[in-house]
Chains A and B, each alone.
Chain A
Amino acid sequence: MKKPDKTVIERRIVFLLLVLAVALPIILPLGLKTQSTPLTEQVYDLVNSLPAGAPVIISFDYDPSTITELQPMAEAVIEHAWRKGHKVIATAMWPQGPQVAEMAFNVVQARMEEKDPNARKLMYGVDYVNLGYKPGGMVTIQGMGRSMEAIFPTDITGLKYNKIPMLSPVRTLKDIRYVISLSAGDPGLRDWIMTANGKFNIPVAGGTTAVSAPGFLPYVNDQKQLHGLMGGLKAAAEYELLLGYEGTASLGMNPQSVAHVLILALILFGNIRAWKKRKADKLAQEAKHG
């Protein structure tokens, strides 16, 4: 039987170390804290700045493959909007978006009821609604600018748009006070920036997976194309911190930090080894040529 070469074995050791670096802090949390950054604070300030009763859209443009990063963000943003009394309209440009929206609504509702059992119970159709999935990205958003009802004739339960109490003042996208797109790719945040902000001047904020975050950073600029950006689990943890609770994202920052330290150590180790090897090769070559 052929023996695996040295690099394959080394790679397996790296994988094993990484699994340990992530698993151990999940089992035994280190209590590491995170700090908020201006990018997340801008999103928080946008939500915070609006009065109770403002109709807002949270677009669930992702599916279960990215819930680790985006679901804590969704939960934090929903909780913030509900605390402020905003009327949350959930839309989705990804087919499984409505399901992840439902999950987030249920979790936040349970958490808020647990925190304050005497608070008014949030009601579907009055405080929030799930309008479901629509394909089309940019074209759909343009259509929402003409008529929300034409694009979403019913919600996910089949209830007609004009029978949903909280939607009576919302005729078009222009009646929405802000849009937060939680986006794992295309269609997603870019479509909202281009259309909702670019064409209809609606304030747009975003939450993306860490991989896509650098691509959206240029939109956070003087022109206010994006009112803040939440990138990955770290930003979700920052939002939880701003809201004053420790959720799944904050707990996830323990393994995240340990894994990052390990990766830094491995990069350093790899570079030292490569430098030593290059030096040894150079010396060997010099010795060979006299």
Chain B
Amino acid sequence: MANIMTTFGIWLAAFFTLSIFSFLYKDNPFYKFAEQVFVGLSAAYWLVYTIYNILIPNLFNKLFTDFAGNWVLLIPMLLGIMMLLRMFPKLQWLSLYPLALMVGTSAAMSMLLSFKSDFVEQMAATMINPFKFSSPVDVVGSIMLIVGTLCGVFFFYFSKKQEGFYKVPSKIGIWFLMISFGASFGYTVMARISLLIGRLDFLLRDWLHIIK
């Protein structure tokens, strides 16, 4: 029975993979079917997963087994219910309060941590002595890091018209940005090809058994 179910699962996965790939030829009912099944399944999976893996162990179990020790959980529960009231137009305004709380706390928390890791430490990482390295590659790399950072930031300085002397760092900055966009494109190509490799490997190995 387990074998039959595994085989059925592989055929099902192969059908949906090919249905999605069929969009490369043109839009068609197979693609639409696969797309809509995916959307529906994902939504249902999330709902069930949230209930069984978040709400039950973190809220209901705690409240039912030790209410006195966990009564404070009633507050997030109430906020959660208020959030769901978005579905009722007349009570929609009540959802704004938990939303405000979420936006406020998460913005404040991430601001503190991002200020340290994305601003202070990033700045400190560019304040280096390039000549402390013994390898010429590292020296050149560090100089490029400093020049690239300064010129890149300068490119986004819009309070002064970038002409004459000011045009030079701005031009260098755009070159660095272009190179980084190129590198990002290269990485993106690699990621997309990897996904294709994964799917073709599945089709050739698990479905068609062409490779072992």
Q: A69-B194, A222-B124 are in contact. List 20 more A-B contacts (CB 8 A).
A: A4-B26, A12-B24, A19-B200, A27-B211, A68-B197, A69-B198, A95-B53, A194-B117, A195-B113, A199-B113, A209-B194, A210-B190, A210-B194, A211-B188, A218-B125, A223-B124, A225-B117, A255-B193, A256-B193, A259-B196
**Which chain A residue has the least Cβ–Cβ distance from B128?**
A222
Contact A222 B125 (CB under 8 A): yes
CA–CA, A238 to B191, complex, Å?
Answer: 16
Chain A contacts of B113 at CB under 8 A?
138, 194-195, 198-199
CA–CA, A54 to B124, complex, Å?
Answer: 30
CA–CA, A206 to B47, complex, Å?
Answer: 30
Q: What are 27 A-to-B residue pairs whose CB atoms are below 8 Å?
A: A4-B26, A22-B193, A67-B198, A68-B197, A132-B53, A142-B109, A197-B117, A198-B121, A199-B116, A210-B190, A214-B180, A214-B184, A219-B117, A221-B121, A222-B125, A222-B128, A225-B117, A232-B190, A232-B191, A233-B197, A252-B194, A255-B193, A255-B197, A255-B200, A256-B194, A259-B193, A260-B190
Instruction: Number of A interface residues at 8 Å Cβ cutoff, please give it.
Output: 50
8 tightest A-B CB contacts, nearest first = A68-B198, A221-B125, A210-B191, A194-B113, A210-B190, A198-B117, A211-B191, A210-B187
Chain B contact residues, majority secondary structure: helix
Chain A contact residues, majority secondary structure: helix
Contact A252 B197 (CB under 8 A): yes
CA–CA, A3 to B116, complex, Å?
Answer: 58
Q: Is B195 an interface residue (CB 8 A)?
A: yes
Contact B191 A194 (CB under 8 A): no
Q: Is A112 an interface residue (CB 8 A)?
A: no
Q: Is B183 an interface residue (CB 8 A)?
A: yes
* A186-209 vs B, Cβ < 8 Å mask (1 yes, 0 no): 000000011101110000000001
Chain B contacts of A221 at CB under 8 A?
121-122, 125
Q: Is B54 an interface residue (CB 8 A)?
A: yes
The residues of B with any CB-CB pair to A shorter than 8 Å are 24-26, 46, 49, 53-54, 57, 109-110, 113-114, 116-118, 121-122, 124-125, 128, 180, 183-184, 187-191, 193-198, 200-201, 204, 210-211
Q: Is A231 an interface residue (CB 8 A)?
A: yes
Contact A260 B204 (CB under 8 A): no
**Which chain A residue has the least Cβ–Cβ distance from B184?**
A214
Contact A22 B54 (CB under 8 A): no
Chain A contacts of B121 at CB under 8 A?
198, 221, 223, 225
CA–CA, A15 to B204, complex, Å?
Answer: 18
CB of A157, distance to nearest CB on chain B (Å): 13
* A112-123 vs B, Cβ < 8 Å mask (1 yes, 0 no): 000000000000
* A142-167 vs B, Cβ < 8 Å mask (1 yes, 0 no): 10000000000110000000000000
Chain A contacts of B24 at CB under 8 A?
12, 15
